[in-house]
Structure 1
Amino acid sequence: TRRLASLYEALVPYFSAADDPAPLYAHGGAWEKAFPGYEFDDSGRVCHLLIRYPAYFTDGEPESRARIEHLLTAKAGRGREYLFTWDEEANELTVTALAPLPTGVPAQRFVTAPGETVLGFTDPSEVQRTLPLAYGAEQRDVPPVVWRTGPRSTEPHLLALGQPGSGTSTLLRSIALQALQHGDVVIVDGGGTGEYACLVGRDGVLAVECGLSGALASLEWAATETERRLIAVNRARQAGQAPPDDTRRPLWLLLDRPTSFTHLAAADGRKDPQALLQVPLRHGRAVNVTVVVAEQFDSADALGEALRQHTRARVVLGPATAEQLKAVLG
């Protein structure tokens, strides 16, 4: 109960007003009325808490909510992820400590339909769907984060950002392996660390480029291929025919740290490889061309405007500040 009393005292400045005749929150007050429901885990930390707050608290303002959520995260125990459920009608906030997400998922083929890519896994409360995953001899059903691509996708291109070592390159490799089940892949590795050497020579891997010249050549080909597909699809429609098969086979352009080539190209007086992405970004969805970019936070400012505008599917990996999350995810 000392933890609850401490939480109560910390919330007093936010949930009290000087002219409130019967304050629910006051220094030295009774926390039992403010916290009608609570549970503790085996370590004695709060794992579930129902909080009542006064009707005059501005729970409709994101800034007000964020202050409370930040405070509760710090006071209830760092190192855990919390789910905050606001009930504005009842003036109640439910805080739930979420169980850690699975980290030991081995490499395997996911049971998905064409055009679906698994980006990761989430909590059961977030999605209704589950995927069967093998953990050695054991099999579990885990709720996935699925990204849908193709002509009907509302977010056909993806941008992943994170700190060094946060797993953006691992995510790109996972996407590449899933994409190869139904399509072709072009990989541009601006990091030059050999992260994608395991994919060289595989069926469907059209190129793995680690140098500026190779990156420019591959992306120029990709832009030309996108235009060729657009022309072929348009001619087929005018003739009342189905699009050619080669325009329906997915083509994936995976770029890891492309801003490294931006700096090299500027120093060498050559074209920025990002400029060659404009056609695939603007028109790729109609002809099954998908662009996926992974970049680090410290180089995000060097990403081109077209890339920022058209990569509406966003992923942030690893630790990030509230400002970084807002800038990337909105």
Structure 2
Amino acid sequence: MRWHHDERVDDGIMRHPADSVAWKTLDELHPSFATEPRNVRLGLASDGFQPFKSTKTPHNIWPVVLIPYNVPPWLCMKQENFILSMLIPGPKSPGDAIDVYFQPLIEELKELWETGVKTFDASSRQNFMLHASLLWTINDFPAYANLSGWSTKGKLACPCCNKETLSIWLKNGNKQCYMRHRRFLPRINKWRNDKDSFDGTKEHKLPPKMLSGNDILDQVADLDGNILSKDPKKETKISHDNTGDNWNKKSIFFDLPYWKTLLLRDNLDVMHIEKNICDNILGTILNVKGKTKDTINSRLDLEVIDIKKELHPIKKGDKYELPTAC
């Protein structure tokens, strides 16, 4: 449990969460916690799955797993080191009301941070007060919304861009499209001025400002105390018309005294991102039927946006065809 402090090589290479800026920021802001290397750093992961083979049986289980990061990277993700803190069963996913189930866990995490628990260290044969902190959550995109409180649907779906998310509705593809990614490039980058390869414009916009915990608390101040329930008769209806944001609730994790000071509170898991992007790229390059994103509707959307004219579909009678050169 002291490996991250005693044996980790701090050479600027990212091999372990202890090498991250988020970990080091917590140490700087809370030195009394950082001085004891045996204090536990935790990550929280949760997602729902269908426990029965028959999809006709309405049921959903959400395991909530805590991962202790003190140990070496080759032990971090071993199943025997995972802590199954709770199972949330039900006919449907808990949605935003998952905070109701998190209440006992949050109370224990607060106690572990503020008071600690008397613990016996077998290596030194001494007792000490053990404290713990939750560094971040790790989820797929839908679960990200349930835990963070920011809805990952609609025109403001990006939690990082927040109110500065830039999107357009593509009627042929029947989906929201998120645009202007070149604003995240350095100010001096040739792609910012490359009109032909992108949407026919130069990009001069700066990336969105990174919001602090206090910024988020200001945005969700009016949601504090809202009733969270899967019962539509009890749940408080949230309107985004006047706020211009996508917050559905104030996350219960903000009850943790240190949560607003964390640099990185919510993460997307790598597995879903790698799999989905890889599937889409390979499906499109290899023109796999049912997997490719290069469809008539996507070409019609290019026509509506008025870019890439050489890729616009050709109308023959009542049907559209892709250009033969493509």
* Structure (1 or 2) with the larger CA radius of gyration: 1
TM-score range, shorter chain: under 0.3
| Structure number with higher strand proportion | 1
